[in-house]
Amino acid sequence: MRTDNGPRRGAPGRPAGPQPAKRQAILEAAVAVFLREGYTRASVDVIADEARVSKQTVYNHFGDKERLFIAAVEGERERVAAGFADGSPYALGPDGPGTPGPYDGGDARAALIAFGHRVLAVLLDERASALRRLVISEVARHPTLRPVCAEGEPRQLVKYLAEMLGRRTDRGELSVPDPAAAAGQFVALVVQQGLHQSMYGTHPLADGEAAAICEGAADLLVRAYRP
């Protein structure tokens, strides 16, 4: 008898082709059920019911519960990353990443502080933080879930900040020999301190706590790379 955790490779029934709306409904239901029940107790039957699709439709799209969980985590990462895409409330610039934007004006310290606040506001999103905690709690019992822990800090953020640091280096305001490495260190510092002080998103950061994190990280980078 097959369980929810069993592989569905070669399962009977042929998928009806791409169905983006159903796929998204399944992912939304999966996040809700995984957060409510935990990975082990979550049932594909319940996820299918909440998504208003058949259990076979879930299997046709994702194969098994493990791959559905990984897809749900990756979907949350994409949702958070979209907070920095052009046209969103958190947009990095008028023409998207790679072009001059709101963090290219003023002095480097002020720009870095503002950027740090934007990182914290998006990455401490309540739902994403809850799913992050679930991944941490489950990966020891289910080593096959390790791939969802492999991603580091959001590449989009690091890329944008590296380009901004490069432009400021070109102008002579900073002297950053490896903008990508410096950007990764800055984002990692802000995110890790934010996660620690918010107890992994279980309570919101006070304004003073967020300011201290962002100002401290900005001061370190500016002191390290001042011409």
Residue range 178-195, pLDDT digits in tens: 999 999 999 999 999 999
Of residues 102 and 123, more confidence is placed in 123
CA 163/CA 89 separation, integer angstroms: 21
Domain covering 1-63 in this structure, CATH number? 1.10.10.60
> Could you give the residue range(s) of every CATH 1.10.10.60 domain in the chain?
1-63
**Which one, of 7, 4, 2, 10, lies nearest residue 30 by Cα?**
4
Res. 3: pLDDT tops 60: no
Residue 190 vs residues 119, 120, 181, 197: alpha-carbon distances, Å: 8, 7, 14, 11
User: Which string of DSSP letters, residue by residue, matches 111-142?
Assistant: HHHHHHHHHHHHHT-HHHHHHHHHHHHHHTT-
Q: Tell me what pLDDT residue 171 has.
A: 92
Residue 118 — very low, low, confident or very high, per pLDDT cuts 50/70/90?
A: confident
- Which listed CATH number (3.30.499.10, 1.10.357.10, 3.40.50.10490, 3.30.70.260) goes with 75-225? 1.10.357.10
> Could you give the residue range(s) of every CATH 1.10.357.10 domain in the chain?
75-225
Residue 181, token pair as written in the block: 């490495």
CA 156/CA 129 separation, integer angstroms: 19
